[in-house]
Amino acid sequence: MSTQSRTTTRPGEPGPGVGPSGEALGPDRAKVRSGPRSSLRQRTELTILLGPALVLFVGFVLVPIAVAVYYSIYKWNGFGPLKDVVGFGNYRRALTDTVFLHSIIHNVIIAGLSLLIQLPLSIGIALLLNRKIRGRTFLRLVVFAPYVLSSAVTAVMWSLMLQPGGFIDHLSKAVGIGAHTWLADIHIVLYTIFVVASWQYMGFGIVLLLAGLQGIPSELREAAALDGATAWQTTRMVILPLLGPTIRIWIFLSMIGSLQLFDLPWIMTGGGPANASSTMSTYLIDKGFHSYEFGYGSAVAVILFVICFVFALLYQRFALRRDTQGALTRMVR
């Protein structure tokens, strides 16, 4: 958005010394740019500057996706020539496979739980911690720490604690919940993974929200207090609306994170038992990679890609559009 407004000048105009960002370019540079020699020179410089990044980006981001679309219409085990065209057969198979559909539902459940549980909890904690309490810097450090760990390490760590008769069982017995097979019970396993994911990722969100809270001028709270607003009213009518942009970015990151959840279920359960904790990504790797069904796997990858893409665009269009600040609004314009 902000980019759009900045770029009303058409790119490529050799022009009257006004850069696309609206800042006036010096007359010298405008002069430097005219003339065939300097234009050749500019082209050379641009090639040097942009070439390597473009090669990497096209070769390892765009081409793989494009090729996946091509593979997806074949039945192909990854070896030998591509000759068995099945058209949309792979897509039809994926969208009628109950395991895949359940995987999508699992992702949606995780995303929904994040919105319903993590978000209110994170906002509440951030509001509480946004006070002048002692040891705030230390607290922020601790809260953030799990986020920098590799999720693979987190998965192993929690697997160790969640072993039957293990540490978590001891704790849950002590508080009266009783022992469960946390990772082997098809009714519990997805929620166990959600708790572990919350342990790892909530701190990041809290720190993000704290930063957002600190951007709200204290005058506004003081003014509200002067007008006789209670603490709750101030929070609800003044603080939360102003925190809106941060909350919307939180939601965006959380949803994208939920859609791509892979490491935790893959390492802790392998998507099991009985696919009860499978996600779209674990399904993809399981089918495409381990069963050597690369044509089918490519079709699944394309579906995942479309889901992420559509979500990101829609979210940007309807939610982030209002925010004039923040990298995300610029990123996904």
* Positions 184 through 243 that interact with other proteins (CB under 8 A): 199, 203-204, 207-208, 210-212, 214-215, 217-218, 221-222, 224-225, 230-231, 234-235, 239
Please name the helix (run of DSSP H) or strand (run of DSSP E) that holds residue 66, with its range, or none: helix 63-71
Binding residues for other proteins, rule CB under 8 A, total 133
Say whether 74 sits in a helix, a strand or coil. strand
> Closest CB to other proteins among 98 and 228?
228
Residue 117 binding other proteins, by CB under 8 A: no
* Max CA distance (Å), the chain: 81
For residue 80, what are its two tokens?
């030998």
Site for other proteins in 128-187 (CB under 8 A): 128-129, 131-133, 135, 137, 139-153, 155-161, 163, 165-167, 169-171
> Closest CB to other proteins among 187 and 297?
297
> Closest CB to other proteins among 88 and 289?
289
CA distance 71 to 82: 8
Site for other proteins in 79-98 (CB under 8 A): none
> Closest CB to other proteins among 110 and 259?
259
Amino acid at 239: I
Question: What's the closest the beta carbon of residue 274 comes to other proteins, in angstroms?
Answer: 20
Question: What's the closest the beta carbon of residue 106 comes to other proteins, in angstroms?
Answer: 15
42: Cβ–Cβ under 8 A, 6 or more apart, which residues? 33
Question: What's the closest the beta carbon of residue 254 comes to other proteins, in angstroms?
Answer: 11
Position among 34, 77, 291, 325 found at the interface with other proteins (CB under 8 A) = 325
Say whether 80 sits in a helix, a strand or coil. coil
Question: What's the closest the beta carbon of residue 255 comes to other proteins, in angstroms?
Answer: 11
Site for other proteins in 27-46 (CB under 8 A): 28-29, 32-33, 42, 45-46
Question: What's the closest the beta carbon of residue 285 comes to other proteins, in angstroms?
Answer: 7
Which string of DSSP letters, residue by residue, matches 211-256? Answer: HHHHTS-HHHHHHHHHTT--HHHHIIIIIHHHHHHHHHHHHHHHHH
Rounded to the nearest 10°, the torsion over CA 302, 308, 313, 314 is 110
* 229, burial (CB in 10 Å: exposed 0-12, middle 13-18, buried 19+): middle
Site for other proteins in 1-30 (CB under 8 A): 3, 7, 11-15, 19-21, 23-26, 28-29
C-beta separation of 149 from 200 below 8 A: yes
Rounded to the nearest 10°, the torsion over CA 177, 180, 186, 192 is 70
> Closest CB to other proteins among 132 and 187?
132
